Structure formats: structure tokens, C-alpha cells
Structure 1
């Protein structure tokens, strides 16, 4: 299943730039360079600002094929960072007296739309802005015709139809559970209240006052000419056109523009007073749950009572923004592929944060060996190199997986099949290699081996909906094994686990379910495959809880994207 350094110094608000004591250190630049050179990311652009320094750095290409160098004017999708813009618009309306955070959201919707309630309580604008509305992450009638541009055909009529049929599964305001639907609805409500489109509101109240001329939902011709094309892995993918739910993640921008936004949020007293007051309101804690160990401002995630954070991801882009108002510093990081760049932003904000070394991929070397000596010699070489030089190259499962799909796309299906076989042999406990091997067998018409491998993939990752759907189409029996874990055992896993100085996983339990929430990210239910092993359905990831000699849970291990990341229990 598919899965030369440029430093630019600029002035915003007439701040003097100091070249010494660079906050985007040489180590960070080398880390970014290694990400691009080793094909972890395609292009990365970074901006940093503090009280008297502004720095920009970019490296990589706007596209792997015939791309130009990314720079501070390259256009990216910022995904869910758009939610902080939506919160700022709401705060403007609240401060002007046009709206109240306690207003029922239904007040602004057509009378034909019946927003769900629960136990007599209504969803308010504040609930939408803090992910406490009890609305699901996405509407259940979301069925995109083009999965590569999934929001493009979702209409307002479909949104209303869903809201009229939606039934809430827990109490409003009870907990913070990330909802693109909720924030998209808030953006739509702002449209209805103002009589203007979400994009028009962004331009009028934020982009124009801050001179952010490349911040839009719809590409201008100038933005198109500087577009950093999105990539899923190393393959170009479509842009996401998010219109009806634009408030959840529809904005495109540049590092130059986003640095203006960062500085406005930090030094909001230097901007228009209305915008200053709105940003100040959006930064205030609006929801805090000690049991859930979560704290939310309006759209902004609050970490350690110190950082305001948000990241973003669409099909071909990742983004991260962080503010430390006490120290008057902030960062924006944008990338044009779907590999998270959060560690780069965290490292800039917290220099003690340890960046993981980036190793060169083994895939290009294997490809050259195939070309020069054939697939059999390449497999021998791979195994020998992995045994003798395990720390010299990146041998993670996705390296061979991506290589296999490249040969599939080139019509070299025999070579692809052998690579997928090798990946399964080298990573027998990973789900995705079996899925890919199953696809390769199915492409060759071997249904028996396709079914066998899809079943193995599904057994390792019960959340692999792709495998489940393929097996159904092949009329293959799929056994649903239900693992039940006692509430007493679930309670032993509750706590906070540190995977890095500013990155934690918080485990809670409710109604017999175990819930996981990572720093600055939504909360998700995790499902048991064994007493101490759980998996996520929203992404291919799993966690395993580890006990000490006394039987006490002291850590967890996160398995995701070929990475094995331990987390010590700290609370």
C-alpha cells in the first residue's frame, strides 16, 4: 500500500535582524539537508522570529521531477494551521459584539438545519473552537470521488444533511476530541453571519492587514507560478481544494507570509488594535481537562502552559507552527510532502530536543545494483549490507516498499514482486509489506497468494481497511477476532509517557475504551490486539505497554512508519 543552502534575512515591522547566534543552527540546517538528500522530504522551508531576529532557511525542490529550489516565497498548503485563522476570525466577531463564544451554533444556521443536542445541552461556538462539541472528526457521509482531493466535492448540502442526522455519542463539553467537521462548521457559520466567503474574511481581516498577499484558499496566478507541488512519499499528488469546510484546513501560504502571521501573534500590540485584541483572545485557555491532560485555547493547543502549537497535514504537505509568547519567539515550518516535519520546529524552539539522525536510503543503491547486476544479486547485496552495515543506511520497510512501487509504475512487475517479497521477509511483523505483496500478486492474477498476504496484513493491523475491502471484493472470508481487556487492566495503562522533551503521549480511559492523545494532536481510541498491545485505526500505528519486574507499567513503545519509539512513563 503506497504509501546550495539558502539563507534569507528579511524585515517585518522594521525589526532589526542580527546575524550572530543563529537560532536555525548549523545542526538544524544539516538535519534538513539530510532529510532532503536522503529523500525523507522533498522540500522544507523554515522561518523563525524572536524579539530582534528574523531568520529564514530553505532547502530542497518544489518537485522531484523538474522542480526548482524551494524558497521563502514557495507556496505550500498549511492544512490544519488554518484552524488558528478561523479562531482569530471568531475572536474578532466576539470582540466586536457581533457574536458570543456562548452563542448556540444553531443560532447562525438555517432553520432547516437541526444541529444535534445531548441531554438538553446545545453546541456553542466555543465548543466548536475547542474541539469539545462532541461532533465526530469527519461527517459520516464524507465519500470523496477522488481520494487524492477528498474535500473537493463535499457540499454544503451534504454538510446540512449530516448535521440533521447526526447523533452525539458523548456529552457536549465533556472532553476535547479533534474534529475537522466542527472547525469546518465554525468557518461556515462565520460565512453565514457575515454574508462573505471564508476566503474573503481571511483576506479582509488577516491577510490584507498583515500584507500576506500569498495567503489564500484559491490559488492566484502568482501563487500557482511558485507552487511547491505536494508529494505522498516521493510521488506527486493532487492539491486539496477544501471549500465547504475551508475553516478546517483550506489555506495555502508561504513562509514569508506565515512569518508575518507568527510575528503578529507574538507582537500583536504592533498591529491593528482589533486584530491585536482578537489574537490575544484566541490565545487564552478556553478549555482544560486534568483527566485528559489537555489544554486548549481557541483552536491553539497549549503545551506545558507555555507553548501555543498547531500542525497541519494534507495529502501532500505537512506544516508546523509554534509560539512561545513568554520568550517572544516563534517558528513556522512547511514541507511539500507528507512526512512530518514537527521535529524541526520543536528543535528550533527547544535546542535541547534530540533530533534523530537521518540515514541515506538503501533504495537508490539497490536500484543501481538491480540495473548493473540484476535483482538476484541486488537481494544478496541488500542482505549482506544490512548484516554488516546496519547503521550506515535506512533499511526501514518503506524504503523497499516505495522502491517496489516505482518498479510497478515502470511496468517492471517481476522486479517489483521480488522487492515486495524481500520486504516481507525482512519485516515479517509489519502490516504494510504484506499489503503491497498482496497487491502485486493480485496484479499478476494470483488471487490465492493475494488473499493470503492481505489476510496476514489485516491480522497484523486490523485497522487496514484497504486489505479488508480487497478481501471482500475477492469474496474471501475475513474473521473478526475481538480481544477484550478488563477495565482493571486498562486503568494500569493510564498516564503520560515522554517520547521527547516536548512530545508526550497521554493515555486515558473512558467507558471501557482506551484513548491516546499525542502532543498537539487529536485524541483517538486505540484498539486491543492483545492484553498490552493496541493499534490505531486512523493511521497505521500501534503501541505496546511495557511492565517492569514488579509488573508495573513503566513505559510504552510506539511503532509507526518503520520507527520504534520508546516513551518513559512520567505521570
Structure 2
């Protein structure tokens, strides 16, 4: 159920374009051609069901990276949509609010059973508006998740354990002040909405959302006749287990739907379906918070002269992308039977379909790695908050071995990522300012920066608050997208437009890192020694901005 609001990539993509969008409806053949350009031959082997919804018509296509896999999906195939389910939970909440059964300014505690221990911050409670904007301050996952395997991580979590986890939680800041994406909070909302409606979440979704919108094959628990459940896959092509949720917690990510179901959902969101839920769907679009810019569980993304609503979703074997462009009366649905969140999500294809002047991206192809890179990476590393890891070069290939575990051979793609052939993870090399390499290891939705431990690290600059303040300023990287750099309590922090702030650690003269995001920032000075600009390095891309 991943969504990477903290990533700079989506915000960058959303602000790249200044070209006009052609006013024409897309045909099935045109859509198939676009998806084929992005997917054909991709090393993940993914299959995708894609639709572009417009006022005049709906274009659909079903495509696979390998033509031989075409039978994997079709019009009768239901996909796990992951966190896109949260937007549906928001619509059910908005409907209850419209019926006078609550308000976004209600406390979360007032929607839960009496006596439930809910944390606050110095007397400031969590409100529902904080939950639907991921600013509640609750952690990403409940403390009593009870997972015995991350193949199906939520299967053992019930309502009692969910509520008990609230008693373990503590808030580090006032609700509404900091963004932290929280499936924990969203599960509480799913439970609370069903409870306030006086029924279970499955029945509520079918009665108020699926049936009125004509989403006849969407389901949570019982698969309708004539519908086949897609088999999910990891990005290295291995089959993945389905994810299961306790019924009243399923609003966090438990909805399964066909492409036509999601077309009807998008048409409802664009006001093209006359159903009682229509007003509530529209209500979820309005701005609820500015930092981050969100409606009710919808990201509000600026694209030229308009705002596009967007949400991505992911489970262990699936990825999804849904957008609504009310001004253009255009929507996009992408459902993939392969989890793409560890390799950058569906954002490039999705945003290109939102506006075709945005970059489409290209398939990831397996290629041999540069031998010099393999030699530079070989060594011993410590993963932040995790185990040690050894990288070895042998016969022109990279092998990885975590402490106490077996050795795995790594593949390499033309995007520059290494990936284990036997499990779902990504090793992303990072070339540092001094010419040496480090990497981040991404697995199970977490990103672990790696620090080399088999050689002496260069001395880390010791900077005073005054030294750090010399870097403070606003650095526009492109129209509508800027990086604000500030010194706070002896720490240098950066904040991209529409994103949360993140700390920077000094690694060399005028060089800082945010390892968890794969970011390196290099500041430049003028002849007088004053900081005048920066370079932001991330994922092989370099953006430059002059200080204002």
C-alpha cells in the first residue's frame, strides 16, 4: 500500500511541462501504443490494464511486457488496488459528514469505542482531518501487527490488536504539523467509518459505492461469479502472495477491482455518473491541507494551470495508479499485476497519460554492469538500522550476502539498479562527491542507506549552526518547484515544494546527503566564498538551482 509522497520524482514530473495538451480523445490503439512504448520488454515482466477516461469516450488496453503472457489479464481480471482503496474510504467518510453524522474536525477518539486510549500531543488531539492528510503523527504501522510473514503482512491483525496499538503509540509533534504516511491511521479510519455507519466495511462499500457506481465486479471478501483474481508478482517476476485484511480494516488497501470497475469509479469522481455518492466523491477533492497539498486521501498535484487528484497503491504483488483531472474531465487508471513501488512506481506512465507533454519513461532492460562499477561497489557495508552486507564481484557479476544469510546473484538494468534474481529488493548505487560509491537497499517498502565499513571513511565536517545558516535559502530547481534549505536546532533541513522537510548530513566540504531518499546536495560558492547555488543529485538526475 505504498505511496511515496516523500519522493521528489512525482513533484518534479508534475511541474516539467509548459507545452499545451492536445484537445482530442484518445483511441484504444493510441493508448495501446503508448503503454507498449513504456512496457514492452521491461525486465519486470509486468502485465497492465490501462484506461484513459474522457467525457467523449474511454480508451482501454491490456498489455504485457512479454506477448506470451497476454492471457494473464483481461476484462474479467480483478487486481489488488492497494492504497487507492483509501480514496474510497474517504468518500464513505465524506458521505457520513454530508449526512450530518460527523465532521472532519471531530476527534479520532470520538469515532472509536469509548475508553479507547488515543494519544495526543500536549493535549492536542488527533482529528479526522489529520488522518485523511497523513498528519496524525501516528506511525506507519501498528505496534501489534502480528505478522508472521511479510508475504501477507496484515492477515493476522484484527480490530482488538489495532485499537490496543493506539495505547502503545506516542506523538512526537502536534497533529497537523508533520507529514508521515500512516497505514495505521488509515486502518483506524476504515474501522471508524464502518462503526459510525452501523455496518461492516464490506457491506458499506458495496451498498454506498460499488453498487451505485456500477462497479459490479469490485469486492473485498467474496469474489463475484465470472471474475478471476489476478496473480501478483514481484519486480523480478516471481509470483507473490495475495494480501488479506480483516473486513473492517480493508479500507486501507483491501479492495480488488477490474479495469471497468475502476473506470466507473473514475467516472463517478469526474461527476459523469449520476449516483447518490457523487457529492461525497467531489467533496474528497477539496483542499484539506496545504503541507502536503491534499484533499481527503487524494494528493493534489499542480499540472500547469490546474490541479490533478492522484493516488498510487501497492501490495506485495500489485501496483495501481489513479488520477482525476476535473478541469479537463480526464481520468487515468493503471492496474499492474506486478509490484513496481521499489523501482519507481507507475508514476512516469501515469503522469504522461495525465498530460502527454510529461516524459513517458522507457522499459527497464537487463544489461551487464560496468566492470569498474562492480569493482568500486565490492566491499563491506552496514545498513542503517539493519544488518551488515557484503558485496562481491565475480565473473562480471555482483553478488550480495547479508550477515548470517546466503549469497544472492544480482541482475542489473539500464536504469542503473541492481536486483536480486531470487527475491524482491533493489540496490541503487550512489556515486558520491569524492568519487566513491555507496548504495541504498530497498526491500518491503523500506529504504536502508548503506555505509561502507571496510575502509576508513573521510572525516565528516563539523559545522556550527552559523556555518549551516550560510547555506539557508530558497533554490528554484524549475518553474513551480523549489528546494527550501534552513538551519534548525543545529541541523540543516531541506523541503521541496509540497513535501515534508528532511534532514541533511554533511559528508564533505559543501556536500550533504539525505541517504534514505538517495539524495546528495552539493553547494557552490562564488569568488567571495558565499553560497550561490546547489546541485541536487538523485537517481542519476541532476537539478541545479541558484540561491534566492
TM bracket (short chain): 0.7 to 0.9
Query: Quick one: structure 1 residues 196 and 509, their matched pair in 2 at CA, closer, same or farther if it must change by over 3 Å?
Result: farther
Partner of 1:145: 148
Alpha-carbon distance in 2 for matches of 1:129, 1:84: 9
Once the two structures are TM-superposed, the CA of residue 224 in structure 1 deviates from its matched residue by: 6.2
Q: Deviations over 1:459-513 (max 9, x none)?
A: 15x9xxxxxxxxxxxxx9xx9x9987655637837757658x8988777776566
Alpha-carbon distance in 1 for matches of 2:294, 2:327: 17
Partner of 1:361: 366
Q: Deviations over 1:387-413 (max 9, x none)?
A: xxxxxx9445545x444x48xxxxxxx
Query: Quick one: structure 1 residues 221 and 334, their matched pair in 2 at CA, closer, same or farther if it must change by over 3 Å?
Result: same
Alpha-carbon distance in 1 for matches of 2:56, 2:487: 45
Partner of 1:528: 505
Alpha-carbon distance in 1 for matches of 2:219, 2:497: 28
User: 1:144-543 maps to which residues of 2 (within 5 A)?
Assistant: 144-220=147-223, 222=225, 225-243=228-246, 245-267=249-271, 270-272=273-275, 274-289=276-291, 294-304=292-302, 306-339=307-340, 340-358=345-363, 360-362=365-367, 379=396, 394-395=413-414, 398=417, 401-403=419-421, 405=422, 429-431=437-439, 458-460=450-452, 489=468, 492=471, 523=500, 525-526=502-503, 528=505, 530=507, 532-537=511-516, 541-543=517-519
Alpha-carbon distance in 1 for matches of 2:463, 2:222: 50
User: 1:47-62 maps to which residues of 2 (within 5 A)?
Assistant: 47-60=51-64
Instruction: Identify the structure with the greater strand proportion.
Output: 2
Contact preservation (8 Å) 1:303, 1:519: no
Once the two structures are TM-superposed, the CA of residue 313 in structure 1 deviates from its matched residue by: 1.5
Once the two structures are TM-superposed, the CA of residue 140 in structure 1 deviates from its matched residue by: 3.3
Aligned length: 461
- Aligned-residue Cα RMSD (Å) equals 4.2
Once the two structures are TM-superposed, the CA of residue 186 in structure 1 deviates from its matched residue by: 0.8
Alpha-carbon distance in 1 for matches of 2:60, 2:490: 48
Alpha-carbon distance in 1 for matches of 2:470, 2:148: 42
Q: Deviations over 1:495-539 (max 9, x none)?
A: 57658x89887777765666677789x7474563626332454xx
Contact preservation (8 Å) 2:271, 2:282: no
| Unpaired runs of at least 5, structure 1 | 1-18, 365-375, 381-392, 407-419, 437-455, 463-475
Higher relative contact order (CA 8 A, sep 6+): 2
TM-score normalised to structure 2 length: 0.72
1:111 correspondence with 2:91: no
Instruction: Identify the structure with the greater helix proportion.
Output: 1
Alpha-carbon distance in 2 for matches of 1:101, 1:286: 9
TM-score normalised to structure 1 length: 0.70
532, 538, 543: which one pairs with 1:552?
532
Query: Quick one: structure 1 residues 123 and 518, their matched pair in 2 at CA, closer, same or farther if it must change by over 3 Å?
Result: same
Partner of 1:10: none
Q: Helix, strand or coil for the counterpart of 1:176?
A: coil
Contact preservation (8 Å) 1:105, 1:123: yes
Alpha-carbon distance in 1 for matches of 2:492, 2:515: 11
Partner of 1:468: none
Q: Helix, strand or coil for the counterpart of 1:204?
A: helix
Once the two structures are TM-superposed, the CA of residue 232 in structure 1 deviates from its matched residue by: 3.8
Query: Quick one: structure 1 residues 359 and 282, their matched pair in 2 at CA, closer, same or farther if it must change by over 3 Å?
Result: closer
Q: Helix, strand or coil for the counterpart of 1:122?
A: coil
Contact preservation (8 Å) 1:47, 1:55: yes
